[in-house]
Amino acid sequence: MTEASREPKDLALEKRRQEWDLIQQARRGDLKAFDRLVGEYQDRIYGLLYNMTSNREDAEDLVQEVFLKAYEALPRFKGKSSFYTWVYRIAVNRAINFVKKRKRRAGLSLDDVDLAIERDPALVQLAGAETPDRGMRLNELQEKLNKALQTLSEKHRTVVVMHDIQGIPHHEIGEILGCSAGTVRSRLFYARQQLQAQLSDLER
C-alpha cells in the first residue's frame, strides 16, 4: 500500500507513533531527536508568538523559551495529548504571560511582515500577488491588523491568531486551551466583532 492510498487516520497514527519514538529518544538525551521535533513545529509556534506579540525579536526569544521549557518538561509528558497540542499549550501560556507583563506595544517594520509571511504560510494569502505597491499594501495591512489585534484581550487574541491566521480547528484550539470548542467559537465571535469595529474605526 502506497502512502497516497493509505487512510488519513492510518497516516495520523503512524505519525503519532514516529513522534512518540522521537520523544522517547529525546528523553534518553538524544538531542538530534528533539531537534527533529522542534523542526516539525518551530515555524507554527513562531507564527503564533509573532502574532501574539507583534514583535520579531520577542517572538524569537519566546520560541527558544518554549522549546527549552518543553525539553525540560519532557520526562513529565504522558502522551495523553499529541506533542503538538502540548507544545502549543506551553507557547500560548508563555505568550499570554509575556503580553500581560509587557507595558509597551512594539511596532512593526516591513521586514517583520515579510519574515512572518515566510515563516507562517497562513499569512501568504494576505500578501496577495506580486505588484509594485506590494510593500505599501503589506505594511498598511499588517499595521492595521496589528493595531486591531492589540486591542483584544489575551484570550480573544489567542483564538483569532490560532484559528483565523494559523487555521487551527476549533476542537484542537479547545484541547490546547483546555476549554470546549463551543467556548472557542464564542470567543471568536466576540473577537471578530471587536476587530471589525476596530478596523472600521481605523478606516475613518
List, in order of start, the domains of the chain with CATH numbers.
1-103 (1.10.1740.10)
Are residues 34 and 71 in contact, defined by beta-carbon separation less than 8 angstroms? yes
CA gap 82, 93 in Å, rounded = 17
Mean pLDDT estimate for the chain: 79
- What band does 92 get if pLDDT is binned at 50, 70 and 90? very high
9 CB-near residues (< 8 Å, 6+ apart): none
The reported pLDDT for the residue numbered 53 is 84
Mean pLDDT score, 157-175: 89
> Per-residue DSSP letters for 132-194?
TTHHHHHHHHHHHHHHHHHTS-HHHHHHIIIIIIT---HHHHHHHHTS-HHHHHHHHHHHHHH
